[in-house]
Chains A and B, each alone.
Chain A
Amino acid sequence: MISLYPLIQNETIKLLKKRRFLVILVIVVVLVSVFTYAQTRIAENTRKQLGTTDWRITTQNQIADNTNKLSNIRIPDEAKRAIKVEITRLQYALDKNINPQTPSGVTFTRDFFGNAIGLFLPLLVVILAIDLVSAEHSTGTIKILLTRPVRRWKVLMSKLITLLLFTSLIILMTTLICYAISGLAFGYSGWSMPVITGFQVTGDQLITANAHVIEQWRYLFMEISLCWFSCFVVGCISLMVSVLVRSTAAGMGIMLAALISGVILVNMVASWDSAKYFFMVNLQTNTFLSAALPSAGSPPVPGLTLPFSLSVLAAWALISLVISFSVFTKRDILN
């Protein structure tokens, strides 16, 4: 019996030698640098406009802005609900005397993950996962791989475990890169900054009863864990696509379409209830932490809760793995 360890070693070597991981790291570095720069410009602009650096004044202005918007009849009801939620959140921060926007490396990292969970990070995982099996088909090496005295399920399992390792590594590296680069601009402090969490959205009400303050590092840790889970699920689905679709380009197209449609669908789930069973609508699990709403201005969705989203994602991952393994172990290799 060949153990899984040497097989995982093989997959890791192949993954690294394909230089995909390097490309991903470069993408993250470039993107984080660009966002850090943008963030410094935004901070500068706000300061100029308001003529103040006092966050309480900035926040009060924001509340005033949003209240004005509420009286505008042309804004749809659903968007108004979102605005009300935002006002409550800001007001709560004001009451507790916690600056919701203190700039620091840690805050930037937190914000980056908050924005990257829906599309960017899953996309990086797709880049790694999508040709794990299909590339073996297109190079023809599948014919050697599966004629070696190793059971097929072990071959796929080694690929899955390697994917899992690299998904974790992507998340870890993104965290480090974010913190290192944004820290240059905003400083490396902020780990123990208090952050409000535990808001609950029910209908158009933001329930603050369970809201409480935690240190930012705890918040970041929870957010990154949720990110990791979303990425893992996307990885499992990509692996299935890679098993089913032999062309890497076609597989990439399918996953891109799914992820991007998720970003669009999130805004429509309020009207189309059963869309909440799509995995791509549930990827942004971190919104439950902050109660900042998925993509600005979109309404809170009834029935979309953290346990619900996690269950839907887990179900998708499980089904994908079952399909991947049963197809991979039984299929005739004809090409």
Chain B
Amino acid sequence: MSDISFVRTEMLPEKEPPASTVGFIGWAKANLFSSVLNSVLTILSIVLVLFVLSGVLPWAFQSVWNASSLTECREILKATYGEHHEGACWAVINDRWVQLVFGFYPPYPIDPTMYLGNPPEGAWPAYFRPIATFVLILAAVAPVLFDKLPRKMLIITAIFPFAMPWLMWGGTVWFPVAAALGFAIGYFAFKYLADIVGELAGLIIAVVLPVIWWLFLMGPFADLMQSIIALDIPVVESRKFGGFTVSIFIGVVAIVGSLPIGIVLALGRQSDLLIVKALCVGFIEFIRGVPLITLLFVASTLLNIFLPPGTEFDIILRVLIMVTLFASAYMAEVIRGGLAALPRGQYEGADSLGLNYWQAQRLIIMPQALKISIPGIVSNFIGIFKDTTLVSIIAILDPLGLTNGIRADAAWNGIYWELFAFIAIVFFVFCFSMSRYSMYLERKLKTSH
């Protein structure tokens, strides 16, 4: 027997991995230059990106942050970067950011003639009230957004719809307290009367009593309490509202208000009751069929005509009403989509457990329907927040409306891009983080596999 072995006895040296499939080059080859068309696209995009960056970056970064007028800005740019350099003049943001954020809201409402720098006697810190409003919004929204936070924070969320308008507009504290009392009246009326007169009658009473309270008794009550214990802060007229404060104010109110109204409208549209359904469909389709700007025209010119003679709503309040109605029609459609997407078995399962309509909605249908509609709801929120810029057309000084005012000042005449860039960046940050949050929430609530 000869010793013929076909089995290799020594190990081959390890080969280098082929350079073309790993590392950056391999990746680039597979993804960027896999075909002729792909290579052309890649090169075109890179050229485009470089072209845009080469224009924008020097403009944005070789810029001036400290100057008192556009002419001064241009002189500094000339002196620093040479004759032909086109640089941004961020000095306008530096100079006017307070106005862009707060509008003409008085820094010290206790004495509106005073400006920044010389606080009057006994005044709160400058812009205390709008800043407190922002903090309140964050504190109220946080426990809703992140369920790891202590549940006690939800108390702030409950207080917030009453406290926010009071902080912004001012006046007696008894007014928001009285408004909140209306809900308490409704709650207790239902709780104690339902056993005595029956559930349905209790419900009707629980709705009627607060409405009577709000319409006729709330004002005198607030006045009476104010005359007994005076607790008030100076009133700020709403024509002083402006800047991002007014955008956020309108946006938050419309978002908070549109969700419950939207749910009611969606349920109405899905209901078997023919007339209720027709009313809801008519409202939703009408609002969705007209542009928001026409509704804002209604707010600015017509709403006072529709109300009893002598009623004077101020313009911000009128806009709030119309924007909320507008938003709720869209919200209703999103939620209806969620309701329609629920399998029929969920409704039947709820029925078979013997739950009545409202119990089924509250315990079975709504939690699931709302979860399905989260992406739509959040993109609605983003849309509403962006649409608040439209109020500049009816002469409310939101950031976009303020840019015209800033340009009207001789010092900043002819400045465009810096202001637009600043406003765009702020809106982008808000809207982009909202959309990212909705993605996070979708992942978190996903119960399927």
Q: Do A and B bind each other?
A: no
